[in-house]
Amino acid sequence: MITIGVISDTHGLLRPQAVDLLRGSDVILHAGDMGSDDIIPTLERLAPVTAVRGNVDHGAWARAFAPDEAVELGGRSFFMLHDLDDLAFDPAEAGFDVVISGHTHRPKMETTDGVLFLNPGSAGPRRFKLPISLAKIVLSEGTMETELLTIEP
């Protein structure tokens, strides 16, 4: 069994509630807009992290992160990018099981052509009336369970 924490759009704010929800993850995926160079080191205290650079991630620290990443976990293939509008290929044809993105601050889970498109929403500062959220994926014996988790401000 592999537990994957999925977070995005922290914008320099890593809430204690988000840390608590990510605790116990085997891996953490951050879909960009970290907003600060201390977000990833803090998350790495919980589990190994793969992160992509978002549109607010600038400066020397941000250059360490690619705009997209492909990750294999538990026999599943994940493609990560910050803005889904930048996806320039068909992930089903490319063999991806999951596409993880952020940017909109709107949590969403939708399966199209056998590919799960997951946006965990924003775990950082609240924007408009959108929820503060992140996601968890549990891979176990050929199954994949995904859950969106809301944080009360």
26-50: average pLDDT = 97
Query: What are the residue ranges spanned by the domains of the chain?
Result: 2-151
Q: What single string gives the DSSP state of each residue in 12-78?
A: T---HHHHHHHTT-SEEEE-S---STTHHHHHHTTS-EEE---TT--STGGGGS-SEEEEEETTEEE
- Residue with the bigger pLDDT between 99 and 152: it is 99
- pTM given for the model: 0.96
Q: Over the stretch 51-94, which tens digit does the pLDDT of each residue have?
A: 999 999 999 999 999 999 999 999 999 999 999 999 999 999 99
Pick the CATH number of 2-151 from 3.30.43.10, 3.40.960.10, 3.40.50.300, 3.60.21.10: 3.60.21.10
Q: What percent of the chain has pLDDT over 70?
A: 100
Q: Point out which residues pair with 79 in neighbouring strands.
A: 70, 99
